[in-house]
């Protein structure tokens, strides 16, 4: 099944809105959720997307804060990319003070070198988050797509379109890496509210 037109996307959105309105967000001990600031990170060596949202007390109100990318020149050595990536994440934490982080997990690479480089980039990001005591949760790409679009094989463009609808923002001028990062933050926020916290993976 593929989403081919706006009418189908609107149906998906309507189902999500009804589910969110009818679900009272609670933690595992049945206390109301406080406002939470979540940073999503779509990690890559030379272009890492980031997106930050606030989840309000009701749990069904997600407010966009900011998003963007951390970029490094294509000719820069790996060590410089990792330095800039760690430094960029550190600056984002100091500026926006997130309460939790969501990053992509469960990736698969046929190329061993690519897997090693991506692992190094993820390590730099995770270490920086841990340094600042930010609990970090991993979500497989398919799980994020299912949470946002209802389809595990949705395209990046479809994810961007649903993110724009859910957060009421224009995403035409945004990099797909940053909308993917917003989608990760939204996935974590939805599990906090809809699943009452039981579906949230343990911090890594």
54 carries an active-site annotation:
no
Handedness of CA 148, 165, 37, 129 (dihedral sign): positive
Q: How far is CA 96 from each of CA 36, 55, 61, rounded to the nearest angstrom? A: 12, 14, 19
More reliable by pLDDT, 42 or 16:
42
Contact 137, 188 (CB under 8 A): yes
Q: Of 42, 54, 138, 180, which is the active-site residue?
A: 42
77-122 pLDDT, tens digit per residue, is 999 999 999 999 999 999 999 999 999 986 667 788 888 999 999 9
**How many other β-carbons are positioned within 10 Å of the β-carbon of residue 106?**
10
Q: Of 10, 29, 91, 177, which is the active-site residue?
A: 177
Contact 191, 56 (CB under 8 A): no
Give every CB contact of residue 125 below 8 A, 6+ residues apart in sequence.
41, 43, 48, 85, 86, 89, 103
* Token reading at 145: 């797509």
Cα–Cα–Cα angle for 70, 72, 73, rounded to 5 degrees: 150
73 carries an active-site annotation:
no
Question: What pTM, to 2 d.p., does this model score?
Answer: 0.81
More reliable by pLDDT, 10 or 3:
10
18-58 pLDDT, tens digit per residue, is 434 333 444 445 555 568 999 999 999 999 999 999 998 65
Beta bridge partners of 101: 39, 136
Q: Of 54, 104, 138, 180, which is the active-site residue?
A: 104
Task: Give the H or E element holding residue 34.
Answer: none
Give every CB contact of residue 156 below 8 A, 6+ residues apart in sequence.
176, 179, 180
Residue 3 pLDDT > 90: no
Domains belonging to the chain, first-starting first, are: 6-193 (3.30.420.10)
């Amino acid at each position: 099944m593929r989403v081919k037109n706006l009418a189908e996307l609107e149906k998906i959105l309507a189902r999500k809105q009804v589910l969110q309105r009818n679900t009272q967000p609670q933690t595992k001990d049945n206390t109301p959720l406080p406002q939470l600031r979540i940073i999503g990170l779509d990690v890559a060596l030379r272009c890492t997307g980031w997106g930050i949202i606030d989840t309000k007390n009701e749990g069904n109100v997600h407010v966009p804060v900011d998003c963007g990318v951390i970029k490094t020149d294509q000719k820069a050595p790996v060590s410089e990319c990792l330095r800039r990536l760690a430094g960029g994440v550190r600056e984002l934490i100091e500026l926006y003070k997130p309460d939790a982080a969501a990053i992509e997990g469960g990736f698969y690479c046929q190329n061993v070198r690519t897997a090693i480089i991506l692992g190094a980039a993820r390590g730099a990001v995770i270490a920086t988050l841990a340094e600042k005591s930010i609990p970090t949760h991993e979500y497989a790409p398919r799980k994020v797509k299912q949470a946002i679009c209802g389809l595990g094989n949705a395209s990046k463009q479809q994810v961007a379109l649903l993110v724009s609808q859910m957060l009421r923002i224009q995403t035409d001028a945004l990099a797909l890496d940053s909308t993917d990062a917003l989608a990760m933050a939204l996935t974590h926020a939805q599990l906090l509210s809809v699943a009452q916290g039981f579906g949230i993976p343990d911090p890594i």
